[in-house]
Copies of this chain bind each other. A is one copy, B any other.
Amino acid sequence: MNETMKHQHNHRSIRSFDDRPVEAEMVKQLLEIMNRSATSSGLQSYSVIHLTDPEKRQQLAKVCQQAYITQIPELFVFIVDNYRNYAIARAKGYEGNYHRTMDHFFRGIADAYLAAQNLMTAIESLDMGGIFLGSIINHPMDTIQILELPVLTFPVVGLGFGYPAESPNIKPRMDVSLKVGENGYPYWEDNILDAIKDYDEVMSHYYDTRDHNQRSDTFSNQIFKQALNEQADRANILEAVEKQGYLLRYD
């Protein structure tokens, strides 16, 4: 395994960071790497907000319901951005709604995640650590207001990083065989609960031995309990997408 793959294999979410700041020059270099990410049809329909303002950090921490967000050394929020290309087309005289389609929205999502993972990889290659923050879309319209985003943009994911002050265990994943199918969907044999049994045991052991936040439970029990206690706050996320100017239907 080469260095790159070792770092990838070693990925953990880091939530606690050293006081040591990340050098501005290093942040700049990381963003240049991010900028080389693959992008759907070359459109580059994503942007990134560097969040340093303590007040805005506090507001975002409230959306995320995660207080440590105020303490992360570096924080970037990835957004879908079809506003830029829309503005270009308008400036050239185009008057239609082409950039409002859900196809454009999904291309922006693609660009944002590819760039976010690329940035994370570069961060980890430098022996720093980070965390993806999906919770920034707990209340998308609040995040949009905090970041002062225009139409045809949409928050996707946050990425916080810095020099780690913790070294958590690697979180186990279910076996690759459950996720990879040959020429079709990887249907399991007989009962899914049998198929997931080994992973259930591994996860239960992982929670038993984890430093903080003890919670001995199997994966399948977690999935079941989450469904029972359904937190469906984000279920109607398309309403916010529509508010940002996208057309759920295009005729």
Contact = CB atoms under 8 A, between A and B. Distances in A.
B232 A149 contact: no
Contacts of A187: 150
Contact of A44 (B157, B174, B227): B174
Interface in A4-42: 4-5, 7-11, 13, 29, 31-42
Interface residues of A, number: 116
A165 interface: no
A230 interface: yes
B185 A4 contact: no
Contacts of A117: 37-38, 113-114, 117-118, 121
Contacts of A46: 179
A37 B121 CA distance: 10
A88 B173 contact: no
A44 B196 CA distance: 13
A234 B109 CA distance: 15
Contacts of A249: 236, 238
A32 B226 CA distance: 27
How often does this chain occur in the complex, in copies? 2
B250 A232 contact: yes
B103 A235 contact: yes
B38 A11 contact: yes
A72 to B, nearest CB: 15
Interface of A: 1-5, 7-11, 13, 29, 31-44, 46-53, 56, 76, 81, 83-85, 87-89, 91-94, 96, 98-99, 101-103, 106-107, 109-110, 113-114, 116-118, 120-122, 125-126, 132, 134, 137, 147-150, 153, 157, 170-171, 173-174, 176, 178-187, 191-193, 196, 219-224, 226-228, 230, 232-238, 247-250
Given A84-B178, A88-B224, 20 more contacts: A1-B29, A3-B3, A4-B7, A5-B125, A8-B121, A10-B36, A32-B176, A38-B132, A41-B134, A49-B181, A49-B183, A50-B182, A89-B224, A91-B193, A92-B223, A96-B227, A102-B236, A114-B116, A114-B117, A248-B248
